[in-house]
Amino acid sequence: MFDLGYNASLVAIGAGLLGLAAGVTGTFLFLRKRALVSDAISHSTLPGVALAFIVMVSFGGDGRSLVGLMAGSALSAAAGLLAVGWLTRRTRLAEDAAIGVVLSVFFGLGIVLLTVIQAMSAGRQAGLEGYLLGSTAGMLRTDALIIAVGGALVLALVALLRRMLIVTAFDPEFAGSIGIDTGRADLAMMGLVLAVTVVGLKIVGLILIVALLILPPVAARFWSDRAGSVALIAGGIGGVSGAVGAMLSVSAPALPTGPIIVLVAFAIFAMSMLFAPRRGVVAALIRHLSFRNRVHLRQGLLALAQGQPVYEALTRRLLRRAGLIRADGVATGAGTAQAAKALLDERRWQWLRASEGTGAAAARYDGLTPIETVLTADQIARIDSQLRPGGLV
């Protein structure tokens, strides 16, 4: 990374901190099932960027000042967020419909204002469209520092409010019962999302910042069931995506920064979805195949115990692989012993299901669960004393 030069390294560090903040903040948005709100916030920033540029130029300032553009985008995004809330509370529109209305109107207004800006003769408006998709080309040291500091401040606020945000995300009613103001918690969460969106405008762009808020926590969810762990993993994924994407963009200036960062985040998401040890697609496929093989082995053993031929090719293959039958289908010594055990266990389960007061234990029956994991040796011995070789008493 540092071979790219001082400014490029600073940009990569800033993008990494932004990704870290976006991943952690987006976790609470994802857990609260309000991911679309981030889309409304991000698209609502465009008219603010354009108006801030126009105002700064009108007063003789530098229309490209990052601080001024961020301030304008923050005000515009806040207005969009308030509009979504007002429409949801005061009309019959559902939140997703209100988001669609605000998103389209604000974004359309922003495009019109950008068109107006392009016709202006002052203000160095060239490159302002970089705020749509993000751009690191021409980013100054002060810009990178502002982004890095902004990301660090968002992280500090998340650490301060994490308990309130986690409880509200999982159980708003319980949060209210222990004295947490869920309305303020949601407002704080939206404020953090707004801050990440504004800070990330220069690097990721307003269109794609929502991806950096959502992709890392969605990917992290494949690796853990604990909210705290998901937030940490999401922060790591966001940080790596931001830093690696920014480095790739700096090394190939013709490529837009935001899409590269999002593609890196998506690549990590795809790997998580496929290869996560518990919730990944590959792990689920392995569990499915293992369960299928266990079912075939169990049915094959029961057939052997009852003197029935095994016709299913997969069952025969599994029994042969386990050394339970020979090539001609005749059971080996180990196969005969295991078949007898499987049939005995089946009769034990039948007795258990037919007896009163054993409902909880009988509910564990699935044809595969070893009865020794459910009952003690004494309980099994009492069942065996009730069984006759031909079946139930």
Assign 3-class secondary structure to 266-324.
Answer: HHHHHHHHHHCCCCCHHHHHHHHHHHHHHHHHHHHHHHHHCCCCCCCHHHHHHHHHCCC
**Which tokens in the block code for residue 165?**
């945000």
| Distant-in-sequence, close-in-space partners of 243: CB < 8 Å, separation ≥ 6 | 1, 12, 13, 15, 16, 19
CB 131 within 8 A of CB 201: yes
Q: Which portions of the chain are predicted below pLDDT 50? A: 390-393
What pLDDT, on a 0 to 100 scale, did the predictor assign at position 393?
Answer: 45
What pLDDT, on a 0 to 100 scale, did the predictor assign at position 122?
Answer: 59
Please state, in angstroms and rounded to a whole number, the distance separating the CA atoms of residues 130 and 148: 19
Query: Which amino acid, 59?
Result: F
Strand ranges inside the chain, DSSP E: 387-388, 391-392
CB 151 within 8 A of CB 17: yes
What pLDDT, on a 0 to 100 scale, did the predictor assign at position 392?
Answer: 46
CA 61 → CA 45, 84, 140, 155, 293, distances in Å?
21, 33, 18, 32, 73
CA 184 → CA 88, 176, 191, distances in Å?
17, 11, 10
Please state, in angstroms and rounded to a whole number, the distance separating the CA atoms of residues 241 and 11: 13
What pLDDT, on a 0 to 100 scale, did the predictor assign at position 4?
Answer: 64
Classified as helix, coil or strand, 18 is helix
Q: Can you state the percent helix, strand and coil of the chain, rounding each to 5?
A: 75, 0, 25
Place of tokens 């990917």: 219
Taken in order of first residue, the domains within the chain and their CATH numbers are 2-275 (1.10.3470.10), 282-392 (no CATH)
**Which tokens in the block code for residue 272?**
């998580």
Please state, in angstroms and rounded to a whole number, the distance separating the CA atoms of residues 170 and 162: 12
Question: pTM to 2 decimals?
Answer: 0.80
